[in-house]
A = this chain, B = another copy of it.
Amino acid sequence: MRREEDFIPSPVATDVVIFTVIGNELNVLLVKRGKFAPLGWSLPGGFVGQREDLDESAVKTLREKTGVRNVYLEQLYTFGEPKRDPRGRVISIAYMALVDAQMVKLEKGKDTEGIKWLPVKKLPQLTFDHRQIIDYAKKRLIWKMEYTNVVFSLLPTYFSLTELQKVYEAILERDLDKRNFRRKFLSTGLIKETKKKSQGAHRPATLYNFAEKRLEYITNPFGQFLKK
């Protein structure tokens, strides 16, 4: 069925789009390649080991760059256009991870000059097809925000409804109605009121936490989760 020459294997890598929300903006973690060409900002990633599961490879990248584990991680898509890497063919399995920025300590690798959160709306030029991968990841994230409770990965354990709403607004890039948002979210049963209150200069907000920190599809009622 296939020609013999075709059986020569290609290197396989994983690249991880790590998102977080900082100050009302969606940010992505990028590393500046400083040692090997092509230089410039890239997604963190690495080759998949011989005996390594694909998810493991992505988890390892995530742990090496951010120090976090046990966060939301999802396989997105596999990019394999033969010329996507100018140095030779590499097939890349893209992952998306969602983290609470407060939990992250950025750790520079030895091949990299820098590692930084950059706002998705104002990205510099990126190496390879990484811009395309991020665009795809963002679309998927928007979808997931509307139909699932993935948002829990972007927030600390205790949070106010306003903080929750701000995360949605940052990612959907539109304002939501406060009363409708609260009614809708509370009716899902995904979050529980706690006895804690926020502290600060103004009226303290009731803090909530998630009933279950695992991915749930919102089927109540069915239909788009958030309209306006």
Residues of A bordering B, CB below 8 Å = 1-3, 5-12, 46-54, 64, 75, 77-78, 80-82, 89, 91, 93, 109-111, 222-224, 227
Contacts and interface: CB of A to CB of B under 8 A. Distances in A.
A182 B25 CA distance: 43
A187 to B, nearest CB: 16
Contact of A80 (B7, B8, B53): B53
A82 B51 contact: yes
Contacts of A110: 1
B7 A9 contact: no
A5 to B, nearest CB: 7
24 contacts: A1-B64, A1-B109, A1-B111, A2-B47, A5-B50, A6-B48, A6-B49, A6-B50, A7-B11, A8-B50, A9-B9, A9-B10, A10-B50, A12-B80, A48-B91, A50-B89, A54-B80, A54-B91, A75-B78, A78-B78, A80-B93, A91-B91, A222-B223, A222-B227
Given A46-B2, A75-B77, A110-B1, A11 B9 contact: yes
Contact of A53 (B7, B50, B81, B227): B81
A10 B13 CA distance: 11
